Amino acid sequence: MNILVIGSGGREHALCWAIAKSSKVHEVFAAPGNGGIEDCATCISLDTGDHEAVINFCDENNIALVVIGPEAPLVDGLADSLNAANIPVFGPSAAAARLEGSKGFTKDLCDTYNIPTAAYGRFNNAEEAKAYAAQKGAPIVIKADGLAAGKGVIIAMTDTEAAEAIDQMFEGAFGDAGAEVVVEEFMEGEEASFFALSDGTNVVALATAQDHKRAFDGDKGPNTGGMGAYSPAPVMTDEMCRRTMDEIIKPTVAAMAHEGCPYKGVLFAGLMITSDGPKLIEYNARFGDPECQVLMMRLESDIVDGLLSTVQEGLDHYEPVWKPDAALTVVFAAKGYPAAYEKGTVIHGLNAAAEDENVEIFHAGTIREDGVIKAVGGRVLNITARGATVGEAQSRAYAAIKKIDWPQGFYRTDIGWRAIEREKANPS
């Protein structure tokens, strides 16, 4: 079968890499792909916002399955258009993708169906939002309602910071995403990511991860799309995973079906593990980036089986198999990210960095020109490694990254620190 993957990031490279290993797959296409994806898929120039063009490409190239990587095409309804054209697609409808596309929608759903999350208010004007924030008091969390590339969340530690954040959002700091704002209580605990597949009725747990959103070591600096991740997340014990499925994931899938917009795809829950148990921070309607990279490194079974079982509503017969290893990825980003950065710089040493069979380098913001890899994005490379422990995976990832010659890039040196501290405190 031929499969088309929509997207150009590290997540899509990891998906193409995993899909290409399947014996069921004849050819993998990526639209638009990137400089690294070219090693495992045919990259094509295709305007994915033009749904008719995507449909025509699928018809002309016998595409048996489309896998939508990023959130924007999902919220834009690409899955709906493909389904209407009888082209199988992995990814939720626009109505179901509101779980990510509108934080207010998700908060209201949680409130209606008693799904544990932070107390909140949603507002379409600054003065009411500021009054609510002042009444609740800092620390408090200010969120743009819509899609903001992972950057539309501000944790305000003072009332003044909260008011400034609200003004920034309504003044257009995050574009249309900030036309409505959600203000919610600050939850104490440890964050974790939980992934599950849903076919609209059946739900199968995948794996857990933790990411590092801040730009610099020590979890300092501005929020980014993610500077690294590891899997599994030690805080997600078997009991915590069971509670997450029973208290958050399964009730959400049932609620979406009851609301007339059944959820089909991967459901990515950002969690806060509090003293009361897991609470939902937010949902994403796709695999995380960079969490997908570590999940694909750990997945033993054929990913295509999971994708097809989801699309064909057969998850009651699917059970993924995972390698016992941990995996960790370090994001190599362009200096200046998440603000302005230079484009077109040349990267050397990638072949040497990938010599270890336990290391994979997933590209994100790269292009290949005349055999040379150039950086054209903010998050450029994902140096991903397996190991018996998170500490071992970390050592392999950083050994590989030191072989890469790219003076215009930077990376955090402490990815995985929480898990490694646990490992040192409790050596097996």
What domain count does the chain have?
Answer: 4
With cut-offs at 50, 70 and 90, classify the pLDDT of residue 410.
very high
Residues in the chain: 428
Give residue-wise pLDDT tens across range 170-217. 888 787 777 888 899 999 999 999 999 999 999 999 999 999 999 999
Q: Which residues contact 60 (CB under 8 A, 6 or more apart)?
A: none
Same domain membership, residue 295 and residue 198 = yes
- Only one residue has tokens 């215009």, namely 408
Is residue 386 included in any domain, yes or no? yes
What is the per-residue pLDDT for 150? 65
What is the per-residue pLDDT for 154? 84
Q: Cα-Cα-Cα-Cα dihedral of 12, 80, 92, 377, to 10°?
A: 30
Q: Which domain CATH number covers 79?
A: 3.40.50.20
- Count CA atoms closer than 13 A to 76's CA, side-chain side: 12
Mean pLDDT of 255-262: 97
What is the per-residue pLDDT for 425? 87
Q: Which domain CATH number covers 374?
A: 3.90.600.10
Give residue-wise pLDDT tens across range 26-85. 999 999 999 999 999 999 999 999 999 999 999 999 999 999 999 999 999 999 999 999
**Would the pLDDT of 280 be above 90?**
yes
Mean pLDDT of 249-254: 98
Q: Please give the mean pLDDT across all residues of the chain.
A: 94
SS3 content of the chain, % helix, strand, coil (to 5): 35, 30, 35
**Would the pLDDT of 112 be above 80?**
yes
Give residue-wise pLDDT tens across range 340-371. 999 999 999 999 999 999 999 999 999 999 99
Same domain membership, residue 197 and residue 141 = no
What is the per-residue pLDDT for 265? 98
CA distances for 278 relative to 63, 171, 219, 247, 403, angstroms? 40, 34, 22, 8, 40
Mean pLDDT of 101-117: 94
For residue 169, the enclosing domain spans: 125-179
**Would the pLDDT of 125 be above 80?**
yes
Q: Could you tell me the pTM of the whole model?
A: 0.94
Share of the chain above pLDDT 70, in %: 99
Nearest residue to 153 (alpha-carbon basis) of 205, 191, 127, 210: 191
Same domain membership, residue 396 and residue 338 = yes
Is residue 263 included in any domain, yes or no? yes
Same domain membership, residue 405 and residue 350 = yes
What is the per-residue pLDDT for 428? 64
Q: Which domain CATH number covers 169?
A: 3.30.1490.20
200: tokens are: 């609209």
Mean pLDDT of 395-414: 98
Same domain membership, residue 197 and residue 157 = no
Lowest mean pLDDT among 30-34, 129-133, 274-278, 332-336: 129-133
What is the per-residue pLDDT for 349? 97
CA angle 405, 410, 414 (to 5 degrees): 115
**Would the pLDDT of 149 be above 80?**
no
What is the per-residue pLDDT for 140? 93
Is residue 112 included in any domain, yes or no? no
Same domain membership, residue 303 and residue 198 = yes
**Would the pLDDT of 312 be above 70?**
yes
Last residue in a domain, options 75, 93, 111: 93
